[in-house]
Every structure is written in structure tokens, then in C-alpha cells.
Amino acid sequence: AQKVTQAQTEISVVEKEDVTLDCVYETRDTTYYLFWYKQPPSGELVFLIRRNSFDEQNEISGRYSWNFQKSTSSFNFTITASQVVDSAVYFCALSESRNSNSGYALNFGKGTSLLVTP
Amino acid sequence: GAGVSQTPSNKVTEKGKYVELRCDPISGHTALYWYRQSLGQGPEFLIYFQGTGAADDSGLPNDRFFAVRPEGSVSTLKIQRTERGDSAVYLCASSLGETRTDTQYFGPGTRLTVL
């Protein structure tokens, strides 16, 4: 079963528009972590944010903001005043324990490809 | 400081051949992960090392895949008798490993093409 769902496959916006990328997750753990990564055309995954399941405060970092809602199992990502450099594939990921000896392997969604045009 | 490095960046091989992919984690990171990313998909977990030992290899698709980390730093992912379906980008990530909450930092990946 898919643990992380990113329903938007592709989004295209014009520069300076705001855009929200949706992420819905599924877990039975009470303690878990959620992440967003950016994958630009160069291919390297760039860490953006980590949230733990006990902290539902929304976070803002410059033009980026994240809305975590446990009631709806969602962790959405908004880019304000988008720029061409924001064009990339964005992945939401869930980190939960797989077994007592494991680290927190990440379960990724399929990603949302964002294209920002001038 | 230096990030996670992976070599080679690209590898083209023929079906049935053996390949090795190398990952050099961030210095001081004890946890190391391998993921595989197929076209249009998110990365999928393969194996996790804490130090020298493979603590979780549940993501390895079959026994043709094997990974080692003999000195607790560099890791090598080995694929025997490659198949066309093994074509993907293989990503390595490392984290401090001091707590299970540490953020994973990814390398640029190795693009494997099996002809």
C-alpha cells in the first residue's frame, strides 16, 4: 500500500504565482517524521524540511511554508511568489521504524514535477 | 564540507554482467542507506547500514543484489547477472546515525543502464 501519496503529478505556474504541493501519508506509528526533498534537473535530492509527528506548528522559511495537519494526515508545501529556479521535482517522504534494528528508511511519494515559466 | 559522493556517475553494462556502485558518505556519518529510483518514481529503499553491519536489507529485490561496508565508511552496492529491469538511478544517503531522527543527505546518484 502506498504510504505517501502525491496526487499532483505535474504542476505548471507562471513566475510569481503561489503554488501548493499536496502530500497525504499513511502510518500506524505514533512517532514518525515527514520530509520534503527537492530534486532539480541535476538529479541530486536536496533536503528542505523535517517535521516530527508531535509538532504540528506550521513552518515558514523564506518563500517556503509547510502545513502539517495530523487530522487529515497531510503535510502540504507552499511556495510563495514562485521563481523559475523553483522548477524541480518535489518529493514528500515518511520516516517510520521498519523493525527494531532499522534506521528510519524513507518512504517516498512519486513526486510532483513543478514547472515555473517566466 | 564535502557531501555524499557516488561513483561512477553513469554506468552502462550488458545484460548478465556484474557491476559495483560505490558510495562515500559524509565524514562522521555512521548511518548509510541505498535507494533505487526508477524513471518517474520516488526513490525506493534497498538497504541500511549502521556502522559496518547491514541492519536492514529488506528492500533488496532479490539475491542478485548485495552491499557491503567493511570499514564503516565507504559502501559498495553489488549487482550480479544484471537485468534490463535493474536500470535505474541508484542513490546513496548518509546520516549522523546518533539518533533515529537524523536527516538523510543524498549523493548525486549513479545512473545504471543495462542493455
DSSP annotation of B99: S
User: For the segment B33-86, what is each residue's pLDDT rounded down to a tens digit?
Assistant: 999 999 999 999 999 998 888 888 989 999 999 999 999 899 999 999 999 999
> DSSP characters for chain A?
--SEE---SEEEEETT--EEE--EE----SS-EEEEEEE-TT---EEEEEEETT----EEETTEEEEEEGGGTEEEEEESS--GGG-EEEEEEEE--SSTT----EEE---EEEEEE-
pLDDT < 50 stretches in chain A = none
- Judged by CB atoms closer than 8 Å, whether chains meet at B45 and A105 is answered as yes
Q: Does A3 touch chain B (CB under 8 A)?
A: no
From chain B, the residues in CB contact with A97 under 8 A are 100
- Judged by CB atoms closer than 8 Å, whether chains meet at B56 and A103 is answered as yes
From chain A, the residues in CB contact with B56 under 8 A are 98-99, 101-103, 105
Give ∠ CA B34-A9-A91 in degrees, rounded to 5.
Answer: 35
User: For the segment A72-90, what is each residue's pLDDT rounded down to a tens digit?
Assistant: 999 999 999 999 999 999 9
- Judged by CB atoms closer than 8 Å, whether chains meet at B43 and A91 is answered as yes
From chain B, the residues in CB contact with A4 under 8 A are 42
